[in-house]
Structure 1
Amino acid sequence: MRFGVTGHRVLPPSIVECAVRHWRRVLPADAQLCGVSNLADGADQLFATQVLAAGGTLEVVLPCEGYAGSLMADESRARFSELRRAAASVLTMPYPEPSDQAFLAAGQALVDRCDHLFAVWDGRPARGLGGTADIVTYARARGLPVTVLWVEGVRRA
């Protein structure tokens, strides 16, 4: 079973706890686990870290060349580099730089590679093309099971 993730880049602590608790409960803790991530800040890197900690294999789909430079914090860029090195495979979409179209293409490619999608998502519309809501809509249109991980009443920044 291949699990993918989409989610917000900035997560309140209660959402981090909710997602990690869920993944520890449902993800198989062995080499049969395969996780697919775009490695953005927040949910993507959190999920990738959990997959590797469980002994699984990580597959990465990047939106463009030079994607690491678009990450928000130095800490996120460092974690991105570590996770990318740990990945079994890395697919980079054919875009020269970050753009909404590149993010949408990478999110759709991620969905096309997994059997189940986790969405660390507040249920609100995307703030730009290729946001979490767009990827969830695409997954649902393809009939992919989607598990939304969020705590009611919590707002994102």
Structure 2
Amino acid sequence: MRIGITGHMNLTPATVDLVRAALKSALAGIEPSELVGVSCLAEGADAIFAQAVLDSGGRLEALLPAPDYRDTRVSQAHLPTFDALVAQAHETRYIADASSMQVYAEANTFMIESVDVLYAVWDGQASSKTGGTADAVAMARTREVPVKIIWPQGSERS
């Protein structure tokens, strides 16, 4: 079972805990030896999901836009988590040679085309920018990839 993730980066601390518990619950029914989580490892939902996959005994596939992604797009605060997840990934794949907004969108497309289901840590609101969570959900639905919305009661964006 290949599961991809899309979701908000700007979750409140209380929401991080709610989402972590909801993802743990969602993954609990999946045989660990059959679980592959596909994540771009972005701050917020992507990283929470990646850690939940690893904690459940599944394998993590890091799908990164480009080799320069860490140095050009990952915040200083997120670097320790990002580096730890990359180190634990079963496989790390890159979409392009250099990061760009187009490559980030291509990473979403590639992920959606490679998974059996997409988990979306999403408040249901439209994206303010192209390539956001709402766009990934819409793309998955258009391509008939099942989407599981994860937005526990009480969740908020910061």
Q: Which residue of 1 is the match for residue 125 of structure 2?
A: 124
Unaligned runs of 5+ in 2: none
Q: Is the 8 A contact 1:15 1:149 kept in 2?
A: no
Aligned pair partner of 1:89 in 88, 91, 102: 91
Asked whether the 8 Å contact 1:31–1:56 carries over to 2, the reply is yes
Identity between Structure 1 and Structure 2 (%): 37
Partner amino acid for 2:126? Answer: P
* Partner Cα distance (1:3, 1:43) in 2: 13
Q: Which amino acid aligns with 2:57?
A: G
The code of the aligned residue for 2:148 comes to T
Distance 2:106 2:32 in 1: 30
1:125-148 deviation digits (Å, cap 9, x = unpaired) = 223221111111110001111111
Number of equivalent positions: 155
Residue 77 of structure 2 aligns to a residue whose secondary structure is helix
Q: Distance in 2 between matches of 1:100 and 1:133?
A: 16
Cα distance per residue 1:79-133 (max 9 Å; x no partner): 1111111111111111412x32111111111111111111011112223221111
Runs of 4+ in structure 1 over 3 Å off: 151-155
Q: 1:154 to 1:31 in 2, by over 3 A?
A: closer
Cα RMSD of the aligned pairs, angstroms, is: 1.7
- CA–CA distance in structure 1, aligned partners of residues 156 and 55 of structure 2: 28
Shift of 1:30: 2.1
Does the 8 Å contact 1:103/1:129 carry over to 2?
no
The residue that corresponds to 2:44 in the other structure is: 42
Contact 1:52–1:58 (CA<8 Å) still a contact in 2?
yes
Task: Structure 1: give runs of 5+ residues left out of the alignment.
Answer: none
- Give TM-score, length-normalised by structure 1: 0.89
